[in-house]
Amino acid sequence: MAEYYPQPAAGQRATAALLRSMLPQTARKTADTSRAATTTATADPHLQFEVEANAVYIWHGWIKYFADPAADLLIDFSVPTGSLGEWHLAAPGSGTAASGTTGYSLRMESNDVTQSRNAYGTSDADMGAILHGTLRVGSTAGTFSLDWAQAASSAIAAVLYTDSWLELRRTA
């Protein structure tokens, strides 16, 4: 059975607030963010949402990044206490390097919403990663954020670039 939110009742007045609640929320980076010499994942200043208690969301997005191959990029999420869900990462794999006509290796895994993953870096190119998942919020509302850092500390900064984005849609 398909889910949708909200579920307007027959005869209910269509207000601006009701119509807005039916739309997905989009968070887009409006500036580059650099992080060097840190392995502590912290919330990206642009890629975060306030989520409601006892709600279910689906989300997807794309990030453009640079990471030194010795440090890579650690991607994680912060969720309200009691939240569950899964997320998927399609990103460059370990030992990624341009290889002529064969392209790059690709890392594709399903993860618990509170489990971090590395997106690998290369010294000769900016990279992109596709992310999507489901978030089931427990009885505590709060912030859902994309958190990130270097996977290994390096003086060469990792960068999440302008126009990376996440879109969140409430389904229940």
For residue 166, the model assigns a pLDDT of: 98
Give the number of C-alpha atoms closer than 13 A to the C-alpha of residue 62, restricted to the C-beta side. Answer: 5
Q: Cβ of 98: how many Cβ atoms within 10 Å? A: 10
Q: Exposure pattern of 29-51 as b/e (b: 16+ CB <10 Å)?
A: beeebebeebeebebbebbbbeb
- Least confident residue range of 18-22, 46-50, 116-120: 18-22
Q: Residue 22: pLDDT above 90?
A: no
**pLDDT at residue 154 is higher than 90:** yes
pLDDT score recorded for residue 106 = 75
Q: What pLDDT, on the 0 to 100 scale, is given for residue 109? A: 81
Of residues 151 and 7, the one with the higher pLDDT is 151
In terms of DSSP bridges, do strands 158-160 and 106-112 run parallel, antiparallel, or are they unpaired?
A: unpaired
Q: Residue 169 above 90 pLDDT? A: yes
pLDDT digits (tens, 9 = 90+) for 85-141: 999 999 887 655 555 555 567 777 889 999 999 998 877 789 999 999 999 999 999
Query: Helix (H) and strand (E) counts for the chain?
Result: 1, 12
Query: What is the arithmetic mean of pLDDT over 55-62?
Result: 97
18, two tokens: 């009701």
- More confident: 76 or 7: 76
Q: What CATH number is given for 27-170 in this structure?
A: 2.60.120
18 Cβ contact list (under 8 Å, min separation 6): 6, 8, 12
Q: Are 75 and 148 in contact (CB under 8 A)?
A: yes
